[in-house]
Each structure stands twice: as structure tokens, then as C-alpha cells.
Amino acid sequence: MRKKLLSREALSAAVGYKPASSPVIRVSNHIVHLGRPKEGPKPRQLLSLPPFPGHPLPGRNSTSAAYVTAISWLRYYFNDIPPLVIQKHFYEGLVQSSRGLSRCYEGQAMPMKKIRPNDIMVVGARVHVPVSVAEIKVSKRFDVIPSATQYPNADEIEYMQRLVKYKDSAILVLNKPPNLPVKGPVPIHNSMDALAAASLSYDYDEGPKLVCRLDRESSGLLLMGRTKESISYLQCLFSDMKKTKSFSKEWNDACDGTYQRYWALVIGSPKQKEGLICAPLTKVILNDGKTERVILTHNSGLEASQEAITEYRMLGPIINGCSWIELRPRTNCKHQLRVHCAEALGTPIVGDYKYGWFVHSRWKQMPRVDYEVTTGEPYKMRRPEDLDVQKGSVLSKVPLLHLHCREMVLPNIAKFIELHNQRSRNSCGDPEERDILRFVAPMPSHMKISWNLMSSCLV
């Protein structure tokens, strides 16, 4: 009898069986019966922020990084989230902190402690907050992209001006919607450059010019120059030869702090939670002689290649076979992020049928149970009742590309031009402190829907 009991206990431990808790007395329809106790709250999925850098945060007036509080760090990172939402997560004790990545992901449990809003951030500290902090209400009304003409009407001009996030004498920063080409083959096509040239000139004689591009299917921050001088600065900033074409020491220092961060939803999960991809790329022409494709360069030495480097970091756990990652390209190659995700990491971006068609054709989109990395608790993606809300999201039959340029940090071009002109007039000039601009763009509707779906905690 004892052997049977021991074997049963061993079997229960092997399969992870948990004995049922003692029943409780319940009353329904004036009838008393024994029932199961109520289940406790489900474990929350955690979103991991990057390690606290420990230097003055770009675009934020701060005397010292030692005085950055926890709530200031969250408000800085989630610049597009209302401050009251962040405060609510602190008051409910949902914000936690840890030190070091390797200890956080090697074991089943993540050693973390709750932090208060006024706690001082330490260099290298990682903050973890429930993904519900970034949940945003999604309007059922989707923006309609206007059909651009050579002379746009008032609605088209208003549409383009709503996309502008920042404007000064040197640059324009826009939040590009998906499925809108950046540059068309002819001026009257429906493209960002044609629409901007016709509707975003403001008080200038000419419209702004494109400096960096985004794919037609992707979305996010797009930079445009308003003058010839600012365009030359921006081209120098985003070229790989920016150090050789330097304007001044202050400019070189500002260039070192320039970066872009993308959020993407990928199928699968990278083997490492974060890392650096150093995989050169090359362009090839397919058999039809027209289609161009970017692939990883094989070390044969016979093909022309271009250096491509990308930093990546997982944002949270895997849900329904997909995971959110943050990408930071160090070089500017065509389709760099899409190829690195699909071929280098083996996790193509959701909606990228050009570089991830093989995986998409075998990808099961039905909700299934996944397990949270840190606690081992089960999660399941919820399927909303309103089918119209699923347009383009991860649950739709044909999802849109889930790649969004969320954050951009760059020098204040207008101030650098003004400083350069002052120095050219007076041979001396005061060396000003490094002036940095930072922009954060909210995700498009289909990615917001996918984020809200992935943040559910149903079993």
C-alpha cells in the first residue's frame, strides 16, 4: 500500500498534478451545495524595459542620471501612454525591478522586487511592468488613405497634417500609416513624398524631401528635411560614412547618440532573449528578371555584400506561438530588419509574406495555451466577439505587417545649423551642450489590436 502511495505521488510530481483544493459551501437558487473555491487572479504577463542606461536620457532635461526616478523612467519610455495609467500601475504594486538579464531568464522564477514611484533608478536595472500598461482603446473607424493627386484637396491636406508629430525650421517628423508607399514612381501616385510636397510646405516655397525610408507595409516615424542644408545634415546622419563627413566635434558626439527602435511581432521566439545580429546582406534578382530580393550573404567572396547589424531584445513571453521583440538597427540596409528576423533569427515578422511565406503557410493562428516564461502559468489569447475589430490583426486570415518604427532619437538639426552659421560669421562660438530630440509614435490600429489580444490572461 505504501509503495502504491509513493508511486502515485511520484507520478503526480512528474506530470505536475496539483491536488484539488477543499470544496466550499455555495448557494444557488436557494439550494446549498458543495462547489469549487473561486480561482485567484491570473498571473500578469510582464513587459521588460531595456536596462537603465545611466546617462542623461535623450530629449529629457535632466541634471544627472542618478536622480531619475522609477516613474520618470516609465514615463520616458512610454511617452505615448497617459501618465495616469502609469501611476495606476505603481499604486497597485504591479511595477517590479530586477538586476541582470541572465538571472532573469535562466530559471523558471524571476527574482524581482516591487518598486515605488520615487525609487532612484540604478544603472543596469531592469523594470518589468504588465503589458496592460500599453493597452490602448482601438477605434472601429480606420483611417482611409486619400488617393493623392497633383493638387490635393482640403481633406487630403488635413489628413497629412494630422500625421505630423514635429515641425521646426529644418525637419518634419511624421507617423506614417501602413500600406502607404513612401515614394512613388511618378509624382501623382499615392505616396508620402507626393502628398508631403503638395500639402506640407507650410510657409516654404518647396515641400519637404525624404531622407530615410520605410517599407510600404510598415509604419512609424518618418523623417523629412525642409531645406537643402538640413537635408545634407540628415543624409550625413543616416549614411554609414557619417564619421568621415563630420561637421564638428559636437555633431559627431550627437551622431553617436542617434538611434531608431522598432517594435515587431514575430512568429516563434529567438533562442536568445537578446543579442546582436551581424549578418551582411546582398541583393539578388529572381528568375523573372524583375523581382528583387535581399538575402543573407554567403561567405563565398564572389558577391557584393553590405554590412548589416541589428540589436534585438524580447519584450515579453510567447503567446499563441508569437512574441514581441524590439529591434534597433545600427546600419541602414534595405529590408534589413525583415531579413534578419526571418533568416538570421528564424522568426519572420507577422504579415511579412515576402521573407516569411514558408512559415506563414504552416502557421496555426487558432488560440492555444502557452506558458509564461517566469512563472510557468498558462495563458491563452482571447478571441473577441466583434469580428470587425480583428482587421489586419494577428487573428485575421491575412494579417498586416507588424513592424513599427516606434522611437527615434536624433540631433536638433535646426540648432546645429544655427550654431554653424554663427561660427561662420564670428570665428568664435560658444560650444553648446548636446541638444537631442526624441520622438515616440503610437502603433497603428492592427498592431494595437494584436497587442490587446496578446495581453489577455485567459486559461
Active-site residue set: 215
b/e code 54-66 from CB counts within 10 Å (16+ = b): eebbbbeeeeebe
Extract the C-alpha cell encoding 188. 501623382
Non-local (6+) Cβ contacts of 32 within 8 A are 25, 26
Q: Cell numbers 518647396 correspond to what residue?
A: 206
Extract the C-alpha cell encoding 207. 515641400
Q: Cell numbers 487573428 correspond to what residue?
A: 395
At position 50, the amino acid (one-letter code) is: P
Which residue spans within 343-423 are E strands per DSSP?
369-371, 378-380, 403-411
Q: Cell numbers 561662420 correspond to what residue?
A: 424
The packing angle between helices 228-238 and 413-425, to 10°, is 110
| Strand 219-225 to 403-411 pairing | parallel
Q: Do residues 89 and 77 lie in contact, with contact meaning Cβ atoms separated by under 8 Å? A: no
CA-to-CA separations, 382 to 94, 137, 394, 453, 456, in angstroms, rounded: 22, 16, 12, 6, 6
CA-to-CA separations, 126 to 107, 115, 158, 246, 273, in angstroms, rounded: 17, 11, 41, 35, 14
Neighbours of 134 (CB within 10 A): 21
Among left, alpha and beta (phi > 0; psi -120 to 50; other), residue 159 is alpha
